[in-house]
Amino acid sequence: MTAAAQTTIGGTCSDRFAAVREAFAANFDRHDEIGASFAVTLQGELVADLHGGWADPARTRPWTSDTVANVWSTTKGVQATCYAMAVERGLLSYDQPVTDFWPEFAANGKGAVTVGQLLSHQAGLCGFVTPAGEPDVVGGSTAAARLAEQAPLWAPGSASGYHALAIGILGTELFQRIEGRSIRQFVAEEIAGPLELDFSIGLPAGEDHRCAELIPPPAMPVDPTSFTPPQIAALGNPPLRAGFAMTPEWRGADLPSANGHGTARALASIYARLIAPQGGLVSPATLAKATAQQIRNTDLVLNIECDWAAGFLRNSSGVFGPVEATFGHTGWGGSFAVADPENGLTMAYVMNRMDANLRDDARAKALIAAVYAGL
């Protein structure tokens, strides 16, 4: 019997998207899926909410409808949503200098960096430039002050260089100075709580039993000995380690670049409320500002072409399907959450077996293709 046949697929899926259920099940057979959830909304309606497999590599805990997992950089889309909501409320504009809210950020020639440039990885602060360890990554305001003091690794505004973890350190510090609450608190009080969605920055105390155990990927498909200074800062100081995400220090941190925990249903629902034409989290005018191109170039850290909005990744490469207007974010290992405003469509995928690819995960591609086949 195949792995797909052995795996029980739970949840719901409308008849229109029967191929999505088939693709989700096939991932366990064809692509070595261990445990996962996948959700789709169309015009605000949840049309697929699937889960299956195991929450641990020993296959002792079934993946249930309320299993959550760390989604790595997929969290960045939620941080971008928080900023869009703050723009909607008139607290800032993307064109404002960061120094309007954080004067110390001007150190070493960064005084002209705008909020939009920071969120689109253009500030030249993609990581620490002096030796750092994992405690520094979850170091809160102390870590943010250290980054803000640094000289940029390139001329701000001239290029993007993926601030893999640093954008969460900087992002929540800046947001708190603007709004009064951290990203973690804002998500809990303004998004997850009111909308009754199972998503949080970090993992609330007492929830460890619901959290899937991440299965680290093979080595990243890059040679660390050939890293450039921006790549060293972003990915090698300290080195990214999947196991860190399962520690109390990580789960207790406010790191909205990488330590979001939730279900696919919650992520798809956040994006559905973001693009809702009426009664959503932001107005269509604010959404247009949040998703407008800030920069498109070969990213200095990822070394692939990236089209960045104000914290969202735009779909110019087609990685999120055939509609160019689609936006969202992927996460290390394969997770993603995106919105296609032209079709009123959102999708989110959460899993525990991490793949080494930086994008184009085979499991995600199969799911996205199946969704569009149902439109």
Which string of b and e fits 150-181 if b means at least 16 CB within 10 Å?
bebbbebbebbbbbbbbbbbbbbbbbbebbeb
**How many Cβ atoms sit within 10 Å of the Cβ of residue 241?**
11
The predicted pLDDT at position 5 comes to: 46
**Both structure tokens of 141:** 């305001």
Position 153 in a domain: yes
The predicted pLDDT at position 42 comes to: 98
Position 55 in a domain: no
What's the CA gap between 230 and 163, in Å, rounded?
Answer: 9
Sheet containing strand 45-53, strands side by side: 9-13, 45-53, 35-42, 345-351, 336-340, 327-330, 313-314, 305-308, 295-298
Query: Would you say the C-alpha torsion 307, 309, 313, 318 has a positive or negative sign?
Result: negative
Count of the separate structural domains present in the chain: 1
Contact 287, 110 (CB under 8 A): no
Position 56 in a domain: no
What's the CA gap between 174 and 194, in Å, rounded?
Answer: 24
Which string of b and e fits 90-107 if b means at least 16 CB within 10 Å?
eebebeebbbebbeebee
**Both structure tokens of 211:** 């959290």
What domain range is 297 assigned to? 66-363
- Indicate the pTM of the whole model: 0.97
Query: pLDDT tens digit string along 243-282?
Result: 999 999 999 999 999 999 999 999 999 999 999 999 899 9
What's the CA gap between 194 and 189, in Å, rounded?
Answer: 7
The predicted pLDDT at position 28 comes to: 97
Beta bridge mates, 201 = 260
- Residue 143 zone, left/alpha/beta (φ > 0; ψ -120 to 50; rest): alpha
Position 243 in a domain: yes
Contact 213, 333 (CB under 8 A): no
CATH code assigned at 231: 3.40.710.10
Q: Average pLDDT of each block of 10 consecutive residues along the chain (375 residues)? A: 65 98 98 98 98 97 98 98 98 98 98 98 98 98 98 98 98 98 98 98 97 89 80 94 96 98 98 95 98 98 96 95 98 97 98 89 97 97
| Torsions phi, psi for 58 (to 5 deg) | -80, -5
What's the CA gap between 259 and 248, in Å, rounded?
Answer: 12
The predicted pLDDT at position 240 comes to: 87
Position 235 in a domain: yes
Position 47 in a domain: no
What's the CA gap between 264 and 332, in Å, rounded?
Answer: 15
Contact 137, 166 (CB under 8 A): no
The predicted pLDDT at position 222 comes to: 59
Position 150 in a domain: yes
The predicted pLDDT at position 1 comes to: 34
What's the CA gap between 40 and 327, in Å, rounded?
Answer: 15
Position 13 in a domain: no
One-letter amino acid at 368 equals: I
What's the CA gap between 279 and 236, in Å, rounded?
Answer: 43
The predicted pLDDT at position 2 comes to: 42
